[in-house]
């Protein structure tokens, strides 16, 4: 009872934040007051009491949630009652309990585990809302679903909705390390681990479980797939149990990722050979110990023989041998082993045109189909490479007919601007999930294959690499929350459209005002194409620093190394030839109808043209436009679209709370600058490579831009920037470390009037240089370069923009940028640009 009251109060506090200040912690569970008309209608439809059948903690949480939600959205309490009031109530429980205690209210029919039924029953003037679950967790999911309907202002008076999850597996993976860092995590530190052990305070982990439960996610792997063997030591058993305890009330189970070498490194055996009985016994003893402390543990995740992780290849064993030895240890406890399909050689010879990383998953796993135990799931990244901006669906989905599968989607934005750029990933995921593999020439969308529906597998579904950390708003970018939301909703029901998911999220997160919906949904739904446009269109993949931080632009970083993310752009053309006839044969890994489509240039969709084929720059696309002109145009379109996002977002001023309004505005403004860095770098690179001019004359011509190299410099020295395309002109200037300050002076020769002064500078992670801009001796702007950009170098990641708006300029004015280095940061400068105010 104490716990229940506390939880209800906590939930109420979450929603009590004044409209002017919201830090995003409540995410989509804000339960903000409904607009008057919706509140009036719902007020009449929503009963005044809740009657919970059953004492399970998960049901109690569901009741708390209903009470908090009704209080928040309708501004009135929902009274808890201990008997069914004849005047009406929300009746919450399992279908079995409702059937036995209130048979007149129970729907006819059955509900599997995790499913729910929402139903209104009218008896005379009294009405009952029935929230029935196939089990307690299903009832919790039902409560969240009902609240979602309430928040959208939906009609609740005549409900009869039965929902069954599409698949058995709905998991997230956290790539959290033992020290509290998160690999590819941009939402702060781990919710579970700090300084080599479990966090003292796990309250945020509990709140995270609530967010996950609201989407129907029922398991979390709480350690990174680049697994630390320490997690399998006895010391960690109680620590893992502690995390499980805070998540369990929300129906969320924990799993851990394991290191395949652990029998040797932790168990001190001579070997980790999966065929060795001592190794099998060791895995069994570890599983037994963990399950003794966490009886509902969900299972293990294993990355083996990949990116330097050890695996069965050490002993000439197969992935099936490796998976099964661990799966057999989990089996008596009902645990599942997720074995990652992300296995490839990262030392491939790039000179060999037949080599192809995209082939790896299929080549490794297809021959083993049928050899995996029934509690093994092969976890397959959605595309054959690695979460690039556009990839085809992995052919392995159709390549395993006698093996359980799950699709791995990356929610964290590793190759998508790392939560500094706004990219809503649902449309991309939908494309993979809806892609029809035409297995045996029958309809076989990826979503149905992974759910086990096509090949009649008992297990399977959806795994998301999560983007949450201890940041106040979980993801460090308010808009990135939408990706976690979308993953969960698609894992529950992949038939939902991206537009429906965007609308739901926006309603709950920012409000139901149609103007809010219009602006936010447009930003969400166009953002993938926008990001693709200014990064890597036509299947080029994300043209980022592939061997470094995976953030900024670096067109050649993927070339001439063993990582195999090659686009093979040269003077004549661009793309990987993956055809069977003349290329790597990757296209032939798909079932015949799809293989045929990808085999030829003409039938390959433009979006994947250079993923599948090496084509000349003059190759016409379906629109008639050449490949090179498309590369130029799309980059300008992408950068323009982000600039427009900034303006669109301004339309929300006063419609949403100021705190989130300002935070997103700042993020979008930064992104608009970065999109220009990408645009200029990629277009200049391809212009130089191809020698073909841009029909519109934009590439290489930048009106109003004055290079720092051409300024009058005092103290500043010329510096080469690598890669070259990430600095405008011939490079940049920097002020030697330890120098108090340097200046670069530019002469304005345009007409008199108000102008924006754009300063393109470099913000590296090793200091906080200061910049001051003067016009005719008067300071017009200053700032400190103290953003936490993930680079120490002058490059496409550190290139940043500061805009001083509306400065009165007259011909002959001198504009002086004074830079003061700090630590290793050299107050470097690329150019200034004078433009008419927007």
What are 394's two structure tokens? 């992995």
Active site residue 155: no
Q: 3-class DSSP state for residue 770?
A: strand
Give the residue with the Cβ less far from ligand GCV, 183 or 369: 183
What are 650's two structure tokens? 């301004």
Active site residue 725: no
Q: Are 789 and 799 in contact (CB under 8 A)?
A: no
Give the residue with the Cβ less far from ligand GCV, 550 or 770: 550
Q: Which residues does residue 753 pair with via DSSP β-bridges, in sequence order? A: 809
With vertex at residue 671, the alpha carbon angle to CA 472 and CA 702, rounded to the nearest 5 degrees, is: 165
Give the residue with the Cβ less far from ligand GCV, 308 or 777: 308
Strands (E) located in 709-752: 712-714, 717-719, 732-734, 742-747
Count the Cβ atoms, other than its own, within 10 Å of residue 19: 12
Q: Are 347 and 314 in contact (CB under 8 A)?
A: no
Shortest Cβ 531–ligand GCV spacing (Å)? 18
Shortest Cβ 407–ligand GCV spacing (Å)? 13
Shortest Cβ 409–ligand GCV spacing (Å)? 12
- Which of 110, 235, 307, 814 is an active site residue? 307
**509: phi then psi, degrees, rounded to nearest 5:** -90, -35
Shortest Cβ 814–ligand GCV spacing (Å)? 47
Give the residue with the Cβ less far from ligand GCV, 128 or 362: 362
Active site residue 808: no
Give the residue with the Cβ less far from ligand GCV, 226 or 512: 226
CA gap 84, 96 in Å, rounded: 16
Sign of CA dihedral 270, 276, 281, 286: positive
Where along the sequence are the contacts to ligand GCV (CB under 6 A)? Answer: 175, 183-184, 224-226, 303, 307, 342, 386, 414
Give the relative orientation of helices 426-434 and 481-492 as an angle to the nearest 10 degrees. Answer: 30
Cite the DSSP H helix spans in 546-608.
Answer: 592-599
CA gap 410, 486 in Å, rounded: 12
Shortest Cβ 226–ligand GCV spacing (Å)? 5
SS3 breakdown of the chain: % helix, strand, coil, rounded to 5?
35, 20, 45
- Which of 414, 532, 599, 694 is an active site residue? 414
**Pairing between strand 336-340 and 299-302?**
parallel
- Which of 135, 176, 218, 386 is an active site residue? 386
Nearest residue to 761 (alpha-carbon basis) of 780, 738, 737, 733: 733
Alpha-carbon distances of 507 from 42, 220, 485, 521, rounded to whole Å: 16, 27, 12, 10
Give the residue with the Cβ less far from ligand GCV, 30 or 340: 340
**Pairing between strand 742-747 and 712-714?**
antiparallel
Q: 3-class DSSP state for residue 442?
A: coil
Shortest Cβ 441–ligand GCV spacing (Å)? 33
Shortest Cβ 415–ligand GCV spacing (Å)? 8
Shortest Cβ 670–ligand GCV spacing (Å)? 23
Q: Are 410 and 435 in contact (CB under 8 A)?
A: no
Give the residue with the Cβ less far from ligand GCV, 111 or 169: 169
Give the residue with the Cβ less far from ligand GCV, 146 or 338: 338
Select the residue whose beta carbon is closest to ligand GCV and give its number.
226
Catalytic residues: 307, 386, 414
């Amino acid at each position: 009872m104490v716990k229940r009251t506390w939880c209800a109060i906590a939930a109420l506090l979450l929603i009590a934040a004044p409209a002017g200040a919201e830090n995003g912690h409540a995410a989509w569970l804000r339960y903000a007051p409904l607009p008057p008309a919706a509140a009036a209608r719902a007020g009449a439809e929503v009963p005044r009491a809740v009657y919970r059948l059953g004492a399970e903690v998960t049901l109690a949480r569901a009741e708390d949630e209903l009470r908090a939600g009704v209080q928040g959205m309708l501004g009135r309490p929902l009274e808890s009652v201990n008997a069914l009031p004849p005047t009406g109530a929300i009746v919450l429980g399992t279908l079995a309990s409702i059937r036995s205690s209130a048979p007149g209210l129970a729907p006819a029919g059955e509900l599997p585990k995790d499913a729910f039924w929402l139903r209104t029953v009218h008896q005379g003037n009294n009405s009952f809302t029935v929230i029935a679950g196939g089990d307690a967790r299903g009832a919790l999911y039902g409560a969240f679903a009902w609240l979602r309907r309430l928040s959208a202002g939906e009609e609740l008076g005549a409900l009869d909705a039965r929902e069954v999850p599409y698949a058995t597996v709905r998991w997230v993976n956290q790539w959290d390390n033992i020290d509290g860092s998160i690999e590819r995590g941009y939402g702060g530190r781990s919710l579970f681990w700090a300084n080599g052990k479990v966090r003292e305070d796990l309250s945020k982990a509990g709140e995270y479980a609530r967010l996950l439960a609201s989407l129907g996610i029922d398991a979390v792997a709480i350690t990174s797939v680049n697994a630390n063997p320490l997690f399998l030591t006895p010391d960690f058993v109680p620590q893992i149990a502690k995390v499980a305890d805070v998540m369990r009330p929300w129906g969320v189970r924990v799993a851990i990722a394991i290191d395949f070498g652990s029998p040797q490194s932790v168990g001190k055996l001579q070997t980790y050979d999966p065929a060795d009985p001592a190794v099998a016994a060791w895995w069994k003893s570890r599983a037994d110990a963990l399950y003794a402390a966490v009886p509902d543990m969900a299972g293990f995740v294993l990355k083996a023989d990949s990116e330097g992780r050890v695996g069965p290849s050490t002993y000439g064993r197969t992935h099936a041998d490796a998976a099964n030895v661990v799966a057999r240890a989990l089996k008596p406890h009902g645990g599942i082993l997720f074995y990652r399909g992300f296995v490839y050689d990262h030392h491939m010879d790039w000179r060999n045109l037949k080599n192809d990383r995209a082939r790896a998953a299929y080549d490794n796993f297809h021959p083993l189909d049928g050899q995996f135990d029934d509690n093994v799931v092969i976890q397959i990244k959605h595309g054959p490479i690695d979460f690039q901006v556009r990839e085809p669906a992995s052919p392995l989905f159709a390549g395993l007919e006698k093996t359980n599968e799950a699709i791995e989607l990356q929610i964290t934005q590793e190759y998508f601007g790392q939560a500094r750029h706004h990219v809503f990933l649902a449309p991309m995921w939908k494309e993979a999930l809806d892609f029809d593999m035409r297995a045996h020439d029958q309809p076989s969308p990826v979503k149905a294959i992974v759910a086990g529906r096509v090949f009649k597998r008992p297990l399977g579904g959806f795994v998301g690499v999560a983007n949450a950390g201890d940041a106040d708003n979980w993801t460090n970018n308010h808009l990135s929350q939408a990706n976690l939301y979308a993953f969960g909703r698609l894992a529950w029901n992949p038939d939902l459209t991206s537009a429906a998911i965007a609308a739901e999220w926006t309603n709950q997160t920012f409000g139901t005002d149609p103007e809010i919906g219009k602006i936010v949904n447009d930003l969400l739904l166009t953002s993938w194409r926008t990001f693709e446009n200014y990064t890597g269109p036509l299947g080029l993949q994300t043209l980022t620093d592939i061997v470094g931080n995976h953030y900024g632009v670096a067109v050649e970083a993927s070339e001439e190394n063993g990582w195999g993310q090659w686009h093979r752009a040269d003077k004549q053309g661009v793309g990987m030839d993956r055809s069977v006839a003349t290329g790597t044969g990757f296209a032939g890994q798909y079932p015949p109808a799809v293989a045929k489509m990808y085999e030829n240039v003409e039938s390959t969709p433009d979006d994947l043209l250079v993923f599948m084929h090496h084509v000349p720059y003059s190759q016409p696309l379906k629109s008639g436009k050449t490949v090179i002109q498309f590369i130029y145009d799309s980059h300008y379109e992408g950068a323009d679209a982000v600039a427009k996002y900034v303006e669109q977002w301004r339309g929300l001023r006063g419609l949403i709370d100021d705190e989130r309004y300002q935070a997103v505005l700042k993020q979008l403004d930064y992104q608009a600058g970065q999109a220009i860095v990408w645009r200029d770098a990629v277009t200049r690179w391809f212009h130089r490579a191809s020698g073909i001019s841009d029909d519109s004359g934009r590439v290489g011509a930048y009106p109003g831009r004055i290079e720092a190299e051409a300024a009058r410099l005092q103290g500043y020295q010329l510096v080469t920037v690598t890669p070259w395309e990430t600095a405008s002109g011939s490079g940049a200037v920097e002020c030697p470390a330890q120098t108090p300050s340097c200046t670069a002076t530019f002469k304005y020769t345009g007409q008199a009037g108000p102008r924006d002064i754009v300063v393109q500078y470099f913000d590296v992670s090793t200091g906080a240089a200061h910049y001051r801009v003067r016009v005719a001796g008067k300071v017009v702007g200053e700032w400190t370069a103290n953003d936490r950009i993930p680079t120490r170098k002058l490059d496409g990641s550190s290139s940043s923009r500061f805009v001083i708006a509306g400065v009165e300029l007259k011909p002959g004015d001198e504009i002086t940028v004074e830079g003061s280095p700090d630590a290793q940061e050299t107050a470097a400068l690329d150019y200034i640009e004078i433009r008419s105010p927007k």
